């Protein structure tokens, strides 16, 4: 099913910066709550023009790469936009997550210029590639330090046009680096614009709207929502370096925020902190939108009931860009919302054949305006993405109202006795239980059924919840063939570098655990004459 729309060619980022500076020079583009510092659209043009002159004199051309190693700040936004305005390629890396891979990444990127923020742990890094390094420094309205001191001295960039064509590379961003050799994902200038514009469209951004983001802008999602979408719309991006559960709602209120961006972990932390706030205390707030990981229905409902704030979902991938999202008050619980205006989404079976409407299958995204160009691999070569779309590895469907529903990861699919079981559904049932703070189910090796279901659960401190209590709830909510065989209580569930539960680590934990201890956890053992899909379960 195709949801793509026909559009005209993307404007250059130079033209965007120029237009906003002419139409709203005193409007704020970016404000940092940590720095208590703002950059207006008029100032953004001055900075971007100065950076363009600096890059031009340094011999940087289209598709040449500028690597930025920095945390969230107004300087980060200004450099990111300035590189796009000039027409080169901005490369972002989360230093905390990719410290072990930094040498490898720099070798693959081969940057003409490395811009580094002081104090983030790369001062002693060996520079052997011949690239030019410069400190990011601090921007001030009358000059600045580091790179911004150099920019302030450049007054000859105002007449420089963009050096990039729409299909030239605009952004390369690196994901968490959980694999041995991480790849960078490449967006073209046109692809970046269409992603930003589609995001601004579903958020309903216009000049005068305020958004707030405290996620790392080294990641794609934050770049789209809290940097690119406000830029395209002429809105204002408010940013923080880190998330704070105790100050989050204060930031929203103090800055008249209309839309905030969160992830499920933030939702859980806000619910645990239970700050005394309600939607009526935030009259300008329209909604929060949650992305990057599954938001379980019980958490979703608990948040809205606790705070009286509308919570929406959105989802996407590095390769396909923003894919589907709710439009504010039109959100539908349990879904990601309809595909974005430039997006193409298909649901296919294992052979790649599109399934019937409403059918379950793998989600294929892209082949259109928002799809990434390809990967930059560790050897520095580029691998193009398939022109027909990217297989996301997510299992899902499009419901009768056109909303995308994800049921789990294809690689996480548990095949028990020949029956496919999506663990996300069972995860959601476990999270319904009062006292469960974290839970996930995984398929562990079983000599009879191939895989067996084990629930791994973290219980809140002070809770008397037992494994038997958890299984009793599952029996009421799940059919027999989806019932976990064992419940194992853990102090903490293992996570990957992005903070998501790592199911493979759960499987490894089960395999390596003491077999005697395995017999001590509650078991819902099947009677011997039951087939995988039918029959009763009993606890023993």
Cβ atoms of 16 and 82 within 8 Å: the answer is no
Residues with Cβ within 8 Å of 370's Cβ and at least 6 positions away in sequence, in order, are: 191, 194, 195, 198, 320, 321, 322, 340, 342, 343
What mean pLDDT is predicted for residues 329-344?
89
Residues with Cβ within 8 Å of 248's Cβ and at least 6 positions away in sequence, in order, are: 214, 266, 270, 275
pLDDT at 249 over 90: yes
Residues with Cβ within 8 Å of 260's Cβ and at least 6 positions away in sequence, in order, are: 211, 212, 213, 252, 285, 288, 289
**Mean of all residue pLDDT scores within the chain:** 87
Q: What is the pTM of this model?
A: 0.81
Q: CA separation (Å) from 396 to 337, 362, 411, 425?
A: 12, 6, 13, 12
Sign of CA dihedral 157, 160, 163, 167: positive
The arrangement of strands across the sheet holding 450-459 comes to 436-446, 450-459, 486-489, 522-526, 537-539
- Read off φ and ψ for residue 430, nearest 5 degrees: -60, -40
Q: What is the pLDDT of residues 400-417, one digit of tens each?
A: 999 999 887 777 778 787
Q: Read out DSSP for 116-169?
A: E-TTSS-TT----S--EEEE---EETTEESTHHHHHHT--S-TTPPP---TTSE
Residues with Cβ within 8 Å of 530's Cβ and at least 6 positions away in sequence, in order, are: 480, 536, 537
Q: CA separation (Å) from 422 to 100, 114, 332, 441, 508?
A: 33, 43, 21, 10, 19
What mean pLDDT is predicted for residues 512-538?
44
Q: How far apart are CA 256 and CA 211, in angstroms?
A: 9
Q: Is 512 helix (H, G, I), strand (E, B) or coil?
A: helix
Domain range 13-407, CATH class: alpha beta
Give me the pLDDT at residue 395, please.
87
Q: Read out DSSP for 206-238?
A: -TT-EEEE-S-TTSHHHHIIIIIHHHHHT-EEE
Give me the pLDDT at residue 535, please.
30
Where are the domains positioned within the chain?
13-407, 413-539
pLDDT at 242 over 90: yes
Give me the pLDDT at residue 366, please.
79
pLDDT at 255 over 90: yes
Cβ atoms of 26 and 65 within 8 Å: the answer is no
Give me the pLDDT at residue 517, please.
52
Q: Which two tokens stand for residue 95?
A: 């230093």
Give me the pLDDT at residue 152, please.
87
User: What totals of helices (H) and strands (E) does the chain contain, helices first?
Assistant: 16, 29
Give me the pLDDT at residue 390, please.
85
In the numeric block, the tokens 């879904």 are attached to 335
Q: H/E/C letters for each residue in 286-319?
A: CEEEECCCCCCHHHHHHHHHHHCCCEEEEEEECC
Q: Which two tokens stand for residue 458?
A: 């973290």
pLDDT at 204 over 50: yes
Fold for 413-539, please state it: GMP Synthetase; Chain A, domain 3 (3.30.300)
Q: How far apart are CA 60 and CA 100, in angstroms?
A: 28
Q: How far apart are CA 493 and CA 488, in angstroms?
A: 11
Give me the pLDDT at residue 539, please.
25
Alpha carbon 139 to its chain centroid, in Å, reads: 28
Give me the pLDDT at residue 159, please.
87
pLDDT band, very low/low/confident/very high, at 540 (cuts 50, 70, 90): very low
Residues with Cβ within 8 Å of 96's Cβ and at least 6 positions away in sequence, in order, are: none
What mean pLDDT is predicted for residues 182-197?
94
What mean pLDDT is predicted for residues 112-121?
93
Give me the pLDDT at residue 516, please.
46
pLDDT at 381 over 70: yes
Give me the pLDDT at residue 124, please.
66
pLDDT at 274 over 80: no
């Amino acid at each position: 099913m195709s949801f793509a729309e026909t559009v005209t060619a993307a404007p250059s980022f130079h033209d965007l910066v120029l237009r906003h500076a002419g139409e709203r020079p005193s409007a704020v583009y970016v404000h940092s709550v940590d720095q208590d510092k703002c950059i207006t659209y008029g100032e953004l043009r001055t900075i971007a023009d100065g950076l363009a002159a600096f890059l031009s004199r340094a011999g940087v051309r289209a598709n040449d790469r500028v690597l930025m190693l920095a945390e969230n700040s107004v300087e980060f936004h200004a450099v990111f936009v300035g590189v796009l305005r000039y027409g080169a390629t901005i490369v972002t890396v989360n230093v905390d997550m990719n410290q072990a891979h930094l040498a490898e990444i720099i070798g693959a990127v081969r940057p003409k210029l490395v811009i580094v923020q002081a104090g983030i742990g790369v001062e002693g890094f060996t520079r052997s590639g011949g690239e030019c390094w410069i400190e990011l420094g601090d921007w001030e309205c009358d000059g600045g330090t580091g790179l911004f001191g150099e920019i302030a001295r450049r007054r000859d960039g105002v007449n420089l046009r963009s050096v990039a064509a729409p299909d030239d590379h605009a952004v390369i961003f690196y994901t968490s680096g959980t694999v041995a050799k991480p790849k960078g994902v490449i967006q073209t200038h046109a692809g970046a614009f269409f992603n930003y514009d589609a995001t601004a469209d579903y958020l309903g951004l216009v000049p005068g709207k305020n958004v707030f983001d405290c996620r790392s802008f080294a990641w794609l999602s934050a770049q789209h929502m809290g940097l690119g979408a406000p830029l395209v719309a002429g809105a204002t991006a408010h940013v923080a370096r880190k998330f704070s559960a105790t100050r989050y709602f204060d930031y929203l209120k103090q800055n008249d925020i209309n839309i905030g961006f969160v992830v499920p972990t933030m939702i859980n932390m806000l619910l645990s902190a239970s700050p005394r706030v309600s939607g009526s205390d935030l009259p300008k707030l329209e909604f929060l939108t949650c992305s990057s990981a599954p938001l379980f229905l019980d958490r979703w409902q608990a948040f809205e009931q606790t705070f009286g704030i509308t919570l929406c979902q959105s989802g996407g991938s590095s390769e396909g860009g923003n894919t589907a999202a709710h439009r504010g008050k039109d959100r539908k619980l349990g879904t990601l919302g309809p595909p974005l205006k430039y997006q193409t989404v298909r649901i296919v079976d294992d052979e790649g054949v599109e399934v019937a409407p409403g059918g379950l299958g793998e989600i294929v995204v892209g082949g259109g305006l928002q799809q990434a160009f390809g990967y930059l691999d560790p050897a520095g070569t580029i691998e193009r993405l398939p022109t027909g779309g990217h297989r996301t590895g997510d299992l899902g469907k499009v419901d009768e109202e056109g909303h995308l529903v994800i049921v789990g990861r294809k690689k996480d699919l548990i095949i028990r006795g020949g029956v496919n079981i999506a663990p996300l559904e069972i995860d959601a049932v476990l999270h319904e239980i009062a006292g469960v703070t974290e839970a996930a189910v995984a398929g562990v090796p079983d000599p009879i059924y191939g895989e067996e279901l084990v629930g791994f659960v973290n219980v809140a401190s002070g809770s008397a919840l037992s494994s038997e209590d958890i299984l009793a709830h599952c029996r009421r909510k799940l059919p027999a063939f989806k019932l976990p065989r064992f419940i194992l209580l853990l102090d903490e569930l293992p996570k990957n570098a992005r903070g998501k539960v790592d199911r493979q680590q759960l499987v490894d934990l089960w395999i390596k655990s003491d077999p005697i201890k395995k017999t001590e956890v509650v078991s819902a053992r099947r009677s011997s004459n039951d087939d995988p899909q039918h029959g009763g379960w009993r606890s023993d």
